[in-house]
Structure 1
Amino acid sequence: MTAQTRAQYGILSAGAFPPHATLVGSRHITAPVEEIVAAVSGGLAGVSAFTVHNAGVRRQGVGLVYDVHHLADGSTPNAAFVDLAARVDSAVAPLQTPAPNHTQHHFDRDTFRAHLSLVSHDMYVRPDLSEEVEEYVTGLPVAFPETFPGDRVTLYRTRSDDWSGRWWRTLTWDHVHTWRLPS
């Protein structure tokens, strides 16, 4: 999806990251990698894999996402997903340092929405494309799984020249570590 919207409209933000559902975002952490990995490992202790339900393309804020926040009924939040995000957030919160140019976003269990971004921050600067892009995305014949295992947590290191601006134009990321949750 993100490759298609980039090719058709030059939309970059959702595809600037590897495909993922953010558990903890917008945290400025300068601790050594080993310390971050140890903290997340501790936060994941006792957490088992769970089933993720994909309700398909939905509008979220200015963007479009695959809604993976709810159970199969479409209205009950997937408590395992919310709990996982809360545990990872609690694990890394003590490692956070003040960011030089970034608004802080603290985890809130009530507003957290697990999702896979398809179209995101570009729409703040191109709201004129919103309806057209939504029609294009929902019209693409892309099959998606209704369920899949939530069995991996991955840590990425991200960098951008300007987190308060159009960060997706200069974003780079590196894979740091992956944890496999037991079944």
Structure 2
Amino acid sequence: MTTADSNERFAQAPGDPYRYGVYLRPDPVTCTAVTAVTSQLRAQYGLVSAGAFPPHATLVGSRHLPGPVEETIDAVTRAVADVPAFTVHNAGVRRQGVGLVYDVHHLADGITPNTAFVDLAARIDTAVAPLETPAPNPSGNPFDADTFQAHLSLLSHDMYERPDLFAEVEEYVSGLPVPFSDSFPGDTVTLYRTRSDDWTGRWWQTLTWEHVYTWRLRHH
């Protein structure tokens, strides 16, 4: 299939070129840290993929939900209605996949998975799955509790194109004087609508997004 054929099929799909993500928003200090790191990587190396999004930890990501957005809001509202806020621990910068992240998947020991995080993602996945329809592209982002890793992206898809830069960028990030919170309340869940001209290719170069809705988890 040619790029033109792919784009034509893409344009005809209901709800395209939009995708939806449900994210946990960190505290303001951590959001500032993420923005500082990704802004520095853009300024120094032209790396933009992680900074193309607002600071967030993905609960469910890049879902094709072509129905009325109110259906998604209602589904997630029901899913989080009885979910308490929990403590998120930030273990600092770690390698993940081809990039770098703040590791927020574990408890304070840095080893034990934070089951409250995984359970929240599973609840939301269950809520939105009936609203999802197949999209021509890209491949889906199915939730898997066994492989889910809560994280805040600092460096991501650009490394598929510039793997030669990884060691230098990792050293650069380690030297940035950017403070972050060791822990913060996991109490803010957000829905974003994202758009790209071509989800099959370098989607991060044309990505735009819009905040749609915020839920606050209850505190004890």
TM category (shorter chain) comes to over 0.9
> What is the CA–CA distance in structure 1 between the aligned matches of 2:141 and 2:193, rounded to whole Å?
17
* Alignment match of 2:63 (pick from 5, 24, 27): 27
Moved over 2 A (4+): none
**CA radius of gyration, larger in:** 2
For 1:19, what is the secondary structure of its paired residue?
Answer: coil
Deviations 1:85-128 (A, max 9, x none): 00011100001011122101210001000000000000001101
* Alignment match of 1:62 (pick from 76, 84, 98): 98
Q: Tell whether 2:146 aligns with 1:110.
A: yes
> How far 1:26 moved relative to its partner?
2.4
For 2:60, what is the secondary structure of its paired residue?
Answer: coil
* Alignment match of 2:87 (pick from 27, 30, 51): 51
Q: Where does residue 167 of structure 1 map in the other structure? A: 203
Q: Tell whether 2:168 aligns with 1:125.
A: no
> What is the CA–CA distance in structure 1 between the aligned matches of 2:64 and 2:200, rounded to whole Å?
13
> What is the CA–CA distance in structure 1 between the aligned matches of 2:79 and 2:149, rounded to whole Å?
20
Q: Where does residue 120 of structure 2 map in the other structure? A: 84
Identity across matched positions, percent: 75
65-74 vs 93-102, which moves further: 93-102
Cα-Cα RMSD: 0.6
Amino acid at match of 1:127: P
Amino acid at match of 1:10: G
Task: Please give the TM-score of this superposition, normalised by the length of structure 1.
Answer: 0.99
> What is the CA–CA distance in structure 1 between the aligned matches of 2:56 and 2:147, rounded to whole Å?
18
For 1:84, what is the secondary structure of its paired residue?
Answer: helix
How many matched pairs? Answer: 183
Q: Where does residue 73 of structure 1 map in the other structure? A: 109
Q: Tell whether 2:177 aligns with 1:177.
A: no
Amino acid at match of 1:98: P
The residue correspondences of 1:10-25 to structure 2 (distance < 5 A) are: 10-25=46-61
Amino acid at match of 2:73: V
